[in-house]
Amino acid sequence: METANHGPWDGITRRGGRKVAIIGAGNVGATTAYALVLSGLCSEIVVVDIDAARAEGEAMDLAQSVPFGMPVRVRAGTYRDIGGAHVTVITAGANQRPGESRTDLLLRNWGVFKDVIPKVAEANPEGIIVIATNPVDVLTFGAWGLTNLPRGKVIGSGTILDTARFRSHLASHFRVDARSVHAYIIGEHGDTEVPVWSRASISGMTLHEFGAAQGREHDQAALDAIYERTRTAAAEIIGRKGATFYAVAAGILRLLEAILRDQETVLPVSCVLHGQYGLHGVALSLPAVIDNAGVREHLAVPLDPHEVELLHASAATIRKSIERILE
């Protein structure tokens, strides 16, 4: 029988696959686990929650979906059971309330992290940690400070979802497949996020060039509206249904796929910076190469001066919140 102790850490379970732990069995955690069950990315999923009965119920429900997907062992557990996980996903924390900014969540969720992260680091000292709890940039910085891990192994989901929303809205505007749109949102996952208009392209053409090829006149007001819809998307959803979790889980799954399959994929994730664009002492999202060790490197994407200015302003906003948790 398989036990909770798997020997020296290498992220491999005895069944020869990858093990993933999820801390927090709420909407985001359970939906992420469900997506993992159907994906075939791992062979073991451990769900941990302060409400043990909730974790057990979710694990039982998820396990009963396995016959319709790929073989995977799903179980509830404690922190002792996450040893050997290649990745631990942190979704624990308070939900964002209607009308509540991400920064308003900070002190409530930082209290949760001060309890959770040391337990994760002790039980699985070499595993990658993915942060999905908001405000994700501040909590990514804080979580890194509570571990002895390299910067690249504490990764916030960051602007993965913002970037997907941005590309989707641009695709609808230009009437193309979103997969043909290359554009990024960087900086804070929140109100000061930065659209990188200067590098946005469709099929190798700038947005202006592509629009001209379609016979369109440049419509800056429409593009500004796309950015605003991207920035406020979460609030729009929360106002209608109280929470967001399907698309969030899909973004987490994409990050896990890049890690577990060693894809060397470029994704905009949050990580503690060490000099990129002259920024230090802050975590925010930049395009980064993701492999099975986490963030391998950040890409120095050329930005125009205004975008650099906005990125520094975004970093300053995050840094103010970091100062609050360091008080």
- Exactly one of 169, 189, 208, 298 is catalytic; name it: 189
β-partners of residue 295 are 290
End-to-end Cα distance, the chain: 47
Give the Å distances, CA to CA, from 56 to 50, 79, 166: 11, 14, 37
Is residue 169 among the annotated active site residues? no
E-assigned strand segments in the chain: 19-23, 44-48, 73-76, 87-90, 128-131, 154-156, 181-182, 185-186, 194-195, 201-202, 205-206, 265-274, 280-291, 294-298
Cβ atoms of 4 and 77 closer than 8 Å: yes
* Cα gap 256→88, rounded to integer Å: 10
Return the active site residues.
189
